[in-house]
Structure 1
Amino acid sequence: MTTPQKVKSAFRHAVRLGTGRACLLARAHPEIDFSAYLIEAALTCFAYDGQAEPSRAAYLYELYCLVPQQARIRRAVLRGLATERTDTWALTQLFGLTLFFAQQGDAAARKTLYRNFLRNLIRSSDWAGADEIITLDGLAGLHYVARKYGQYLKRHPDDWQDDGPIEFFQEHHPTIDAWAELRQWAETDADVQRYLQNVKNTLASQAYHQAARPQPEPVPTLEELLQRPPGTYVRLAVRRQLPGPAEARLLAERLLTERNPAVRENLLYLFSRIEFPLGYAPILALARQKPGRYRLAEFATDALAHLPAPEVRAFALQKLARTTRPGQYTSILRSNYQAGDAALLTSLAARFHNEHTIEALAISYVAIYEANPTPECAGPLLALYAKMNCGMHRYEVVKLLIANGLLPAWLHEELPFDSYHRTRLLHQPPA
């Protein structure tokens, strides 16, 4: 028997993940008060990466419209917008929700939206709220935003502003010349004039520095990259210069004799992207080393994902039996998968709860089952779906289930209400 407490627990879990199950539960149980969990989700950005994933404000507003405790939720959101001073992505979510209230004629929401723009700023978040005000009031909203920035610049003359709000307005109102309107306002409004001049100065500075940049250096050769200290730049550049088969073989032979550990790290990163052509044994030996200053064992482990061999598979299974970082070793199964491995992958997804671990598993499981289409992918992918708060990788999981003809009816029912817009588009209406 399903108790109200179990339904509440299921709703809270779903709304934190951002799945459509929350909407279905709210519809099916209007007698249950879900407001505490909706408030929690409104005040906190539960998305795995709030910067990369679009705001969940629209998703939360849909849920708000389904429940009877709207007054309580609305008060909490408006209070949250007035007090959020630590999390940029929670702040933008609250601005988005407040915009929805204001668009329905809520005078207090409108006032709160305006009042909290450029107020008690979170570092590097002075842009938050500008788009919502412009969305709400168009040209009048742009005027307000420009004046507020001008007033802020009067107190902070060393600050700079770009043309983001102007471009946002122009995109949504292509028949109105935003720059012409700003110039006209600036004739009689010192705050707008200050903002407009600051934006012009910023754009001029950007253009100057762009023009003054020296001619770009020649693209470094792969050899030059290998000689550089390991780091993010080198890895990104290596991805753009992956060698062909003949050069890859020469680089593999070099790895066997190279003594410089920095170069060896760069070489191993290269072979985490392409197959090491001299067999698995040298890479497996490096993967078995203890971690040190250089990331040799880590990148060697990554390189094993391209190398099918019984010993490589045995290494992965041995590590997975005791590791706390399973995503590093499940990736090896991409080239070493066997029928029945779904049971292991399902158990790993069930065992771990940390969001970073679940995200790493999601990345590796998607790669495994893209390379190894099989009906048994359903177990591991559904186990992940039940825990993932990353909307973008949830989309990839659902795509794989659909591609294999394994999407359960209950999950298909949730898709139109997911927090991630691309997942919603995967829903297929009845024929």
Structure 2
Amino acid sequence: MNSDQFARVLYQGLGRTIVYARSHDCSPFYTVILQACLYNPIYDRQTGVDRAPYLHELIAATGAEPWFRAHILAALADPDDEMDRELLFDLALRFAQEGDGAARTTMLARFLDNVSCGEINGAYQIAELDDKASLRFVVEQIGAAMQRAVDFSECWISEHFLDDLEAAYSHEPEILNDARIATFRQMVRRSPDEQRIYEQEKAQRKELRTRLLDLTYTDVHQAVASKLLNLKDLWGWGQHTSDTELRRAADDVLALTESNLQWRLLAIFDERDFPYGYASLLPLLDHPKDLVRFRAAHVLARFRHPELRARALQLLAAADTLEYGLILLLGNYEAGDYAMLAALVQPMPDQNFEFRSQESEGQAGQLSDENLHALVSRVHDLFVRYPAPEAAELLLLLYESGPCDQCRDNIVADLLDLDALPPRIAEECRFDANDQIRDLVEARAQ
């Protein structure tokens, strides 16, 4: 494996890196591994899996843990603006829990410096260092900074800190009444007016859901406009409402010009056919708002028609509409489609690889990470409807090229269903960044 290949699979979170490190000299890749530890260059930090356990295991497999520890702690002590500070704290926490005093000292110093600047990076990790005393330390330090009028408005502080603290010290009121904790409580808890509004909206949602199937479309429209019903509620209402009310909903959706309301109301037809057929919805595939096009494609996927298949193929041909074409294909699949989609997926190059972001367009002839991610999601949906042995080639290509470690478990599950997961890949799945993938292959092995 060369450096570019190693960087690629590390970006994806494949277990191949750990399998390799367990039996090869990884010194040529130390800087690549360190970059991953410091900057966490993954497809999507918001939805991706926690990389700290995976990277910690990889570091241990290299046999060079002291070298990595030193560099990671140095970075945590003085991080640059691009570093992933939460990941640095996650890794330092593991070192500290293994008895590394330098890691503990560095974590505490960085956390206190962060708090003085109105940031809480490291709070969750510090709270896990020891017993309840660590949690108390976190709350007291943030509360003390609030007393000094440090501005925390740029970060979100979870009420769970306070909930956990109050549970841990429920029999020690003198601690909970500490002025620093009282300040934290005052700043984090909702005000009486905020709590009253929250409880009112919560009661409204509960009342609406209790009588969901009795609601008229007028009720539904108003509730959606007030954000009191979610997409799951709309699916349920659409499934069970009368034909008359469903047509009222269809008339309104077609007439709406407010796109933020239109895309939500389209969810009514996810589980029930649009009463006027597919033709009246086709213009929505050209809507300027992505969410309207996305939801319209889902509604149209309930219909099967040559015109819809032709439109699906047209959408598949362009990078910016590929996902809508994949969704339409769910209702208009034909034999040979898996091979057609496989032809769209070009293997990642072995040379000149650079860590790519979600916005990456890929190199010439390659799909962007965003489109590869869409393929992983939609091909799984397609496989659930049309499981076929010929899907194996496409699934293996997506395993190799898909950027998202969170979604890869579906691909592995589909390959296992086909009994088409090669032994080499099954072995590396035991070390994947996604624990669900590890569990899948472990369960199959038993």
**TM-score normalised by the chain length of structure 2:** 0.78
1:346 pairs with 2:342:
yes
Please say if residues 64 and 73 of structure 1, whose CA atoms lie closer than 8 Å, have aligned partners that are also in contact: yes
1:178 pairs with 2:172:
no
Provide the residue aligned with 2:186 in structure 1. Answer: 201
Q: Report the Cα offset of residue 106 of structure 1.
A: 2.0
Structure 1 window deviating more from structure 2 (243-252 vs 310-319): it is 243-252
The residue type equivalent to 1:325 in the other structure is T
Provide the residue aligned with 1:281 in structure 2. Answer: 279
Q: How many residues align?
A: 411
1:153 pairs with 2:165:
no
1:112 pairs with 2:106:
yes
CA, structure 1 residues 305+70, in 2 after alignment: closer, same or farther (shift >3 Å)? Answer: same
Q: Which of the numbers 411, 416, 420 marks the counterpart of 1:406?
A: 420
Please say if residues 252 and 277 of structure 1, whose CA atoms lie closer than 8 Å, have aligned partners that are also in contact: no
Provide the residue aligned with 1:423 in structure 2. Answer: 437
Residues in 1 aligned to 2:340 and 2:297: alpha-carbon distance in whole angstroms: 19
Q: Which of the numbers 308, 313, 320 marks the counterpart of 2:309?
A: 313
Q: Report the Cα offset of residue 41 of structure 1.
A: 0.8
Q: Which of the numbers 3, 21, 25 marks the counterpart of 1:26?
A: 21
Q: Report the Cα offset of residue 132 of structure 1.
A: 2.2
Provide the residue aligned with 2:43 in structure 1. Answer: 48
Provide the residue aligned with 1:190 in structure 2. Answer: none
Provide, for residues 134-193 of structure 1, a one-character-per-residue CA deviation record: whole Å limited to 9, x for no partner.
32222442343244223312322676966533555789xxxxx43445x45578xxxxx2
Residues in 1 aligned to 2:162 and 2:222: alpha-carbon distance in whole angstroms: 45
Q: Which of the numbers 325, 328, 332 marks the counterpart of 1:332?
A: 328
1:135 pairs with 2:128:
yes
CA, structure 1 residues 107+227, in 2 after alignment: closer, same or farther (shift >3 Å)? Answer: closer
Provide, for residues 219-254 of structure 1, a one-character-per-residue CA deviation record: whole Å limited to 9, x for no partner.
374334447897987763534522437428852895
Q: Report the Cα offset of residue 54 of structure 1.
A: 4.0
Residues in 1 aligned to 2:249 and 2:111: alpha-carbon distance in whole angstroms: 60
Provide the residue aligned with 1:242 in structure 2. Answer: 238
Q: Which of the numbers 401, 408, 413 marks the counterpart of 1:387?
A: 401
Provide, for residues 257-301 of structure 1, a one-character-per-residue CA deviation record: whole Å limited to 9, x for no partner.
9544448766545335543244433334x256x434797655433
Residues in 1 aligned to 2:429 and 2:392: alpha-carbon distance in whole angstroms: 17
Residues in 2 aligned to 1:266 and 1:137: alpha-carbon distance in whole angstroms: 45
The residue type equivalent to 1:132 in the other structure is Q
CA, structure 1 residues 196+268, in 2 after alignment: closer, same or farther (shift >3 Å)? Answer: closer
Q: Report the Cα offset of residue 33 of structure 1.
A: 2.7
CA, structure 1 residues 148+385, in 2 after alignment: closer, same or farther (shift >3 Å)? Answer: same
The residue type equivalent to 1:38 in the other structure is I
Residues in 2 aligned to 1:296 and 1:311: alpha-carbon distance in whole angstroms: 20
Structure 1 window deviating more from structure 2 (411-420 vs 40-49): it is 40-49
CA, structure 1 residues 279+256, in 2 after alignment: closer, same or farther (shift >3 Å)? Answer: farther
The residue type equivalent to 1:154 in the other structure is Q
1:99 pairs with 2:96:
no
Please say if residues 116 and 145 of structure 2, whose CA atoms lie closer than 8 Å, have aligned partners that are also in contact: no
Structure 1 window deviating more from structure 2 (30-39 vs 117-126): it is 117-126
Residues in 2 aligned to 1:71 and 1:125: alpha-carbon distance in whole angstroms: 29
Provide the residue aligned with 2:352 in structure 1. Answer: none
Query: Identical aligned pairs, as a percentage?
Result: 26
Structure 2: gaps (5+ residues): 209-214, 347-364
Provide the residue aligned with 1:9 in structure 2. Answer: 4
Residues in 1 aligned to 2:151 and 2:34: alpha-carbon distance in whole angstroms: 38
1:82 pairs with 2:82:
no
1:375 pairs with 2:389:
yes
1:304 pairs with 2:300:
yes
Larger RCO, structure (CA 8 Å, separation 6 or more): 2
